Chain A
Amino acid sequence: MEKYWNKEIECASREDMKKLQDERLVAQVKHVYENVKYYRDLMDEKGVKPEDIKGTDDLYKLPFLSKADLREAYPYGLLAKPLNECVRIQSTSGTTGKRVVAFYTQNDVDMWEDCCARAITAAGGTSDDVVQVAYGYGLFTGGAGLHGGSHKVGSLTLPMSSGNTDRQIQFMRDLGATILCCTPSYAAYIGETLHEMGLTPDDIQLKAGIFGAEPWTEEMRRSIEKSLGIKAYDIYGLTESSGPGVAFECSEQSGMHINEDNFIPEIIDPETGEVLPEGEVGELVFSSITKEAFPLLRYRTRDLCVLSRKKCSCGRTLIKMAKPMGRSDDMLIIRGVNVFPSQIETVLIEQGYSPNYLIEVDRVNNTDTLDVSVEMNPDQFSDKVKDMQKLERDLAEAMKTMLGINPKVHLVSPKSITRSEGKAVRVIDRRKLHD
């Protein structure tokens, strides 16, 4: 029996949802135009007045906002409420440059936690559950978001933060955690450690996991599900639009429902900025229509994905976004071919390797090189050199089929690639050093 946190919203008719979005968008545009100079300037420059926006159909008229704008406006330039009405600051990890800080009023925090409560409920969570939050706590939104959501649901919340994996497993066992929230790479590591300790999924009581904050593949999902004996749910979000919970997965596990009462999604052509019809792949753009302190309209996420309004078996009518294929920032262009780390991960898991790998891109004699270091699977180890070289060749061949270019594959020792307790670093692009 599917459970909803807010059935009225999650299963609303399209007409009702659109009406709600129209009202909220009109009010939001007025709010930012009146209170944020940065927006006013952008809109004036584009010749758009708040009166021009009568509903979601007029969304396309608004200017885009990008990470560059956020950096330029750092720290207070996009703040839409007086600081004394704000109660919280969170920040991005800053992996791709200068940090972005986001501000929250109490209503913003409530909205965000409500979104996370929907995600936990969709993963089967109730007040009977013990939710282990192994996302990092602190400025990073992962810990705070799921922590707050778990409180709303009334689950017993274990605020573990990330790291200290032995203790994670000990608490998981001793306190009977039933839902784990962390990054997928950390979930995989916890699973690996569990097995190394001689334990099996029967020794823990986990039934579900809510994993997000970095791209992961279907293959990785199945591998985590098996190693921890759970059903693994994806969750999506970004600090810029609150944190995790912008979209969440349901029992169907085929894309994430966007909380479109708070966030209106669009898919655009990343080159031209033109809005693309449903079903086409492009850059995901969000407009936060309920946020008070830090409301971003038409914010370009850099995530490439596709939207779908296809009827979902869970009963929710919220629009679904597919798992992002990668960030346009993560995309590597190697010898003119677009390569996503997730494609390499897919091949590795299919071929029975661990999803711990390192991609190194360089330029030698004006030609791009792609080297992939892969931890060898001890079960496939042979004393014969020719067998081992065949493993490397087979892997390179499978990657070539997937990517369209020839990588060099290097087998390295098991467990020699640094494990991540948060967001994993998978790519080293040395070409940037030469440019």
Chain B
Amino acid sequence: MSNVRQISVFVENKPNKLAEAMKLLKNSKINIRAMALADTKDFGILRLIVNDTEKTVDILKDASYAVTVTEIVAISIPDSPGQLSRVLDILGEKGVNLEYLYAFIGKSDKSVSFVIRVDDNDNAYAALTEAGIIQLTENDIAEM
């Protein structure tokens, strides 16, 4: 298993709230490797993959943020048409349900990386491995 830990943070949908959270991370020299923000009318859920998960969680919890850590799948695929479609087909065939996904900067300009949040990590991992899709470890991402 190469499951990568993603930190999710509850951020109110009000001016400056995201900036406050980012300032905390900045002050502790946390480097964000991947991020996405899902928003609703009242609040946003900030999803982060960072170079130091434990430290980031401690910092945010100390500042009274609601934080949760979930394991996600991270993949690296060639930067060419049809690649993501292929991955989704593989997952679909195995009956893996996708909650959300987002792209982030990869190792080189010839590849692109994705965070995939699914309902069944084990099943997704097996399917992607069988199809030869490169899966990234937390270490891989930290060193990017």
- Chain B residue with the shortest CB-CB distance to A196: B64
Q: Report the separation of the CA atoms of residues A388 and B47 in the bound assembly, to the nearest whole angstrom.
A: 14
Q: Report the separation of the CA atoms of residues A416 and B65 in the bound assembly, to the nearest whole angstrom.
A: 10
Residue contact A383 to B70, C-beta cutoff 8 Å: yes
Determine if B144 is an interface residue (Cβ-Cβ < 8 Å): no
Residue contact B99 to A411, C-beta cutoff 8 Å: no
Chain A residue numbers with a CB within 8 Å of B45 are: 383-385, 388
Known contacts A383-B8, A383-B117, A388-B45; A413 and B40 CB within 8 A of each other: no
Determine if A313 is an interface residue (Cβ-Cβ < 8 Å): no
Residue among A381, A389, A416 making CB contact with B8, cutoff 8 Å: A381
Determine if A414 is an interface residue (Cβ-Cβ < 8 Å): yes
Known contacts A381-B66, A383-B70; A376 and B42 CB within 8 A of each other: no
How many interface contacts (CB-CB < 8 Å) are there between A and B? Answer: 54
Q: Chain B 66-106, CB within 8 Å of chain A: the 1/0 string?
A: 11101000000000000000000000000000011000000
Residue contact A410 to B67, C-beta cutoff 8 Å: no
Main secondary structure of the interface of B (DSSP, over half): strand
Determine if A392 is an interface residue (Cβ-Cβ < 8 Å): yes
Q: Chain A 388-427, CB within 8 Å of chain B: the 1/0 string?
A: 1100100000000000000000111111100000000000
Residue among B6, B42, B65 making CB contact with A383, cutoff 8 Å: B6
Chain B residue numbers with a CB within 8 Å of A382 are: 8, 68
Main secondary structure of the interface of A (DSSP, over half): loop
Residue contact B64 to A413, C-beta cutoff 8 Å: yes
Q: Report the separation of the CA atoms of residues A61 and B12 in the bound assembly, to the nearest whole angstrom.
A: 57
Q: Report the separation of the CA atoms of residues A187 and B99 in the bound assembly, to the nearest whole angstrom.
A: 41
Residue contact A383 to B66, C-beta cutoff 8 Å: no
Determine if A97 is an interface residue (Cβ-Cβ < 8 Å): no
Within the complex, the shortest CB–CB distance from A392 to chain B, in Å, comes to 7
Residue among A378, A384, A392, A415 making CB contact with B42, cutoff 8 Å: A392
Residue contact B38 to A385, C-beta cutoff 8 Å: yes
Residue among A381, A384, A410 making CB contact with B10, cutoff 8 Å: A381
Chain A residue numbers with a CB within 8 Å of B38 are: 385
Residue contact B65 to A414, C-beta cutoff 8 Å: yes
Residues in B9-50 with C-beta less than 8 Å from chain A? 10-12, 17, 38, 40, 42-43, 45, 47
Q: Report the separation of the CA atoms of residues A400 and B137 in the bound assembly, to the nearest whole angstrom.
A: 46
Q: Report the separation of the CA atoms of residues A388 and B10 in the bound assembly, to the nearest whole angstrom.
A: 10
Within the complex, the shortest CB–CB distance from A370 to chain B, in Å, comes to 15
Residue contact B68 to A411, C-beta cutoff 8 Å: no
Q: Report the separation of the CA atoms of residues A388 and B43 in the bound assembly, to the nearest whole angstrom.
A: 9
Chain A residue numbers with a CB within 8 Å of B42 are: 392, 410-412
Q: Chain B 49-72, CB within 8 Å of chain A: the 1/0 string?
A: 000000000000000111110100
Residue contact A414 to B40, C-beta cutoff 8 Å: no
Q: Report the separation of the CA atoms of residues A415 and B12 in the bound assembly, to the nearest whole angstrom.
A: 12
Residue among B65, B99, B117 making CB contact with A413, cutoff 8 Å: B65
Q: Report the separation of the CA atoms of residues A312 and B67 in the bound assembly, to the nearest whole angstrom.
A: 48
Residue contact A383 to B12, C-beta cutoff 8 Å: no
Residue contact A413 to B70, C-beta cutoff 8 Å: no
Residue contact B47 to A383, C-beta cutoff 8 Å: yes
Residue among A389, A410, A414 making CB contact with B66, cutoff 8 Å: A414
Q: Can you list 26 A-B pairs, Cβ within 8 angstroms, ordered by A? A: A376-B66, A378-B10, A378-B67, A381-B8, A381-B10, A381-B66, A381-B67, A381-B68, A382-B68, A383-B8, A383-B47, A383-B68, A384-B99, A384-B100, A385-B38, A385-B40, A388-B10, A388-B43, A388-B45, A392-B42, A411-B43, A412-B42, A413-B12, A413-B64, A414-B64, A416-B12
Q: Which 7 A-B pairs have the closest CB atoms?
A: A383-B8, A378-B66, A381-B66, A415-B64, A410-B42, A385-B38, A381-B68
12 additional contacts (CB under 8 A) given A378-B67, A413-B10, A413-B64 = A378-B66, A382-B8, A383-B8, A384-B45, A384-B99, A384-B117, A385-B38, A411-B43, A412-B12, A412-B42, A413-B12, A416-B64
